[in-house]
Structure 1
Amino acid sequence: MAASSGDDARRPNPLPSALVSNLHSVLAARRPPPAEEAGATADETSAPEADSFGAPVADEAPAKPAVLLTCAGGIRSAGLAALVDALVAGGRCDVHVCAPESDKPACGHSITIRETVAATSVDFTGAKAFEISGTPVDCVSLVLSGKLFSWSAPALVISGINAGPNCGYEMFHSSAIAAAREALLYDVPSIAVSLNWWVCL
């Protein structure tokens, strides 16, 4: 991600604490529970756990749920950076980012056809991230195809934080909402986050 100025680095996170708390609760609820059986005998309890093929499974804590973030404002969006910072600081999920290389407002559920969609790895503190040449919907579709990350589907997709409201008929044109809708079409839980604020450059 492009280097920010010292003032930007010291700027407080604009993400509401209540939203962060709700996201953490959702992620905690989706974490797989430890495998245990109420009626297990002493022998069963002492025996090493095995997977479906009979191979021993290491006694480790459940993996953190993978969360995919995208943003219609692009990979350098202040809203995306704030969301990544909040989730990384919470430490309850593995944060992954796939966002357009530039701002893609009001392009709805459009996808890229008749040209190659390029994906480039970018530096994002605490997260694995890619910027792509397509739309926010392309971002979600590409990730869910299994081409960018090792997992097949995230526990949650978050589209945001979009600068400006997405209300009423604007929802039909919103590429932020379309990205969340694309995940939902693949049965992946998703939310779109928009705030009525604008970044002055």
Structure 2
Amino acid sequence: MMTSSSVTKSNLPPSLVSNLQSVLISRRAGGGGDDGGDGGGEEPPPMKPVEDSVEVPAEAEPVEVPPEKPVVLITNGEGIESPGLVALVEALVSGGRFDVNVCAPQSDKSVSGHSVTLQETITVSSAEINGATAFEVSGTPADCISLALSGALFSWSKPTLVISGINKGISCGHHMFYSGVVAGAREALVNGVPSLSISLNWKKDESHESDFKDAVDVCLPLIHAAIRDIEKGIFPTHCSLDVEIPTSPSTNKGFKVTRQSSWRSTPHWQAVSANRHPSGGQFMSKHQSLGIQLAQLSRDASAAGAARRFNSQRKNVEVVESVAAGKPDTQKETVRKYFRLEFMEKEQEHTDEDMDFRALENGFVAVTPLHVPSLVESEMQRLASDWIASALGGDD
């Protein structure tokens, strides 16, 4: 039996409800309600009017839907199995506060800069990381973030924050132009997503794998604050924060906002013999504190004749010659040379304590805001304008 206290209104037409009531009342009148009627038996209890209603449990309560967790997307430059990324993901997952997603290179791309893969197919494979949705990509860090933000790989449309790191080696000064970890964060910035890049000042014979966990502990308050303020709409827009952590993270002197310096290590190209040259990507830098791998360059070049291959200026270069039999002597020969690039660490004077490299060396966590400038600085604009006017003005 339906009662008004246990019902809620439905969308039945009023005319249908009226017809149902009439039918039920007529059945009640002709169903043998008198003592001498044909129906016999007891008179059915009086029927209450049928209401336009459906029954629902009286104890039903609204179901509370838990709020969605902030989406954090993680990449890096050194590959998905690097200890810095692993330590960062473990910490974010264990806290249970975030929806953690990983899209990182499957191999070391730490000095790939902001390169992207065009006219080639990249491979994406699922990866097993407890508590996270993870993919490893055959491309660069910039490829990883571009793909992740495209909507083709993940179900969400936009993460709350992109974190690139933690890199094994610094990305200060001009190394930001080479750095794959900075490029991952910069690609997010280009796409309008707040981002952080994180690097540890790793030094050979001094640093340990456990330093990455200490580096994560240093960064977590900054990460939590960034996500909180992004959701409030008060996080700095149009910039990415590059975070450089000193060699001993647990004894750092605190955070210091810095400016990008002109510091760089010195590139040194070394000629090597043909039987010593490796396949690309096999060498790692002897100076791990720079976080830079050696790059091997193999190029084919033309040479005029055999005599030029043996002059004194090329005595350290082994030349591999290949000339098909029967070809005319005037046929140009192919000369192949092999070189390796090393970045030599070089001390440079920086008197400004607010520069990233100097603050890092002094034991601070250096935080440098990076942006993609839409306008050239006014002074540079003026100088370039004056030079172009002079160069193209017809004056000798």
TM-score (norm 2): 0.35
Query: Looking at CA atoms only, which structure, 1 or 2, has the larger radius of gyration?
Result: 2
Sequence identity percentage: 58
Can you list the C-alpha shifts for 1:25-78, whole angstroms capped at 9, x where unaligned? xxxxxxxxxxxxxxxxxxxxxxxxxxxxxxxx9631210011000010101100
**Matching residue of 1:117:** 122
**Matching residue of 1:150:** 155
**1:178 aligns with one of 183, 186, 189:** 183
Q: Can you give the 5+ residue segments of structure 2 that lack an aligned partner in the other structure?
A: 1-61, 210-396
**Matching residue of 2:389:** none
Secondary structure of residue in 1 paired with 2:151: coil
Q: How does 1:76-95 map to 2 (within 5 A)?
A: 76-95=81-100
Aligned residue type for 2:126: S
Secondary structure of residue in 2 paired with 1:98: strand
**2:140 aligns with one of 135, 138, 156:** 135
Inter-partner Cα distance in structure 1 for 2:142 and 2:63? 38
Inter-partner Cα distance in structure 2 for 1:147 and 1:58? 32
Q: Does 1:61 align with 2:66?
A: yes
Q: How many residues align?
A: 144
Secondary structure of residue in 2 paired with 1:177: helix
Aligned residue type for 2:158: A
Q: Does 1:190 align with 2:176?
A: no
Secondary structure of residue in 2 paired with 1:75: coil
Q: Does 1:106 align with 2:111?
A: yes
Deviation at 1:111, TM superposition (A): 0.2
Inter-partner Cα distance in structure 2 for 1:194 and 1:108? 15
Aligned residue type for 1:81: V
Q: Does 1:74 align with 2:79?
A: yes
Aligned residue type for 1:145: S
Secondary structure of residue in 2 paired with 1:124: coil
Q: Does 1:168 align with 2:173?
A: yes
Inter-partner Cα distance in structure 2 for 1:174 and 1:159? 11
Aligned residue type for 2:132: A
Q: How does 1:44-59 map to 2 (within 5 A)?
A: 59=64
Aligned residue type for 2:87: A
Inter-partner Cα distance in structure 1 for 2:181 and 2:116? 13
Secondary structure of residue in 2 paired with 1:129: strand
Inter-partner Cα distance in structure 1 for 2:78 and 2:126? 18
Deviation at 1:172, TM superposition (A): 1.1
Inter-partner Cα distance in structure 2 for 1:85 and 1:190? 19
Inter-partner Cα distance in structure 1 for 2:80 and 2:158? 21
Give the aligned CA root-mean-square deviation in angstroms: 1.5
